[in-house]
Amino acid sequence: MGERIQVSAFREPDNKRFCLALESVLKGKGGRISWDGEARRPAVDCRIAHTATVQSIYLPYLGGFEHELLTSVGRELDVSWIVLFAQEGSIWEYALYRGDRCVNRFSVAPEYWDDSTEFVDQRRGDPRLLAETWGVPIESLRRYLVNWQIADADNDTFEFGLTGKAYPEDRFAYGDFNQVFDFLRALGGEDPTSGLEATRQHAIYVPAGV
């Protein structure tokens, strides 16, 4: 089993509004956040990257509480947001939301989990819907929403048939799960896990029992 990373990006230009919503929702659930502080137990690490149009946030896996928290933030802000998954150190996927409602899903290789027609069709993505929801040109992201053509190499390993980069300026190619961060930049966001100056580190204290 490889590396797993989950980053959420909110179509919200106002960093203060986003942070206030996060703080308010967390408090309502019995938690709190310490701004600009290094996380030490029992706190968990929270990182936020701000751009002119997008707020990107990283939280570790918290048994599903992290999704409950961010869904509530999306509902309170009433904005479009997206969860980006880098799965197993191998593939990447997304779930697109409006408020608290999931409106579209995508995976570069849904067959990794389940090769049934229904499952694969549900994760083909919709470039036009994503572009309209996010307010970006469809041509800036269409080439990311393609199947990597997974193929079995033997019983324990696999390879991808798709090669090259989606766009010349990308850092990562098809077949590299880090392509998800090129995709995030195409949406106007920055990687909150990268250590860039745009990233702020915070400490979240979750409710007891989480």
Write the pLDDT tens digit of every residue in 42-86. Answer: 778 889 999 999 999 998 888 899 999 999 999 999 999 999 999
- Residue type present at position 199: T
* SS3 state at 95: strand
Phi, psi for residue 112 in degrees, rounded to 5: -55, -35
How many residues are present in the chain?
Answer: 210
Q: What is the pLDDT of residue 155?
A: 55
On the question of a cis peptide bond just before residue 42, with omega within 30 degrees of 0, the verdict is yes
What separation, in Å, do the N-terminal and C-terminal C-alpha atoms of the chain show? 24
- Taking only the tens place, the pLDDT of each residue in 134-164 is 999 999 999 999 999 988 655 566 789 999 9
The position carrying tokens 């701000």 is 50
Neighbours of 4 (CB within 10 A): 13
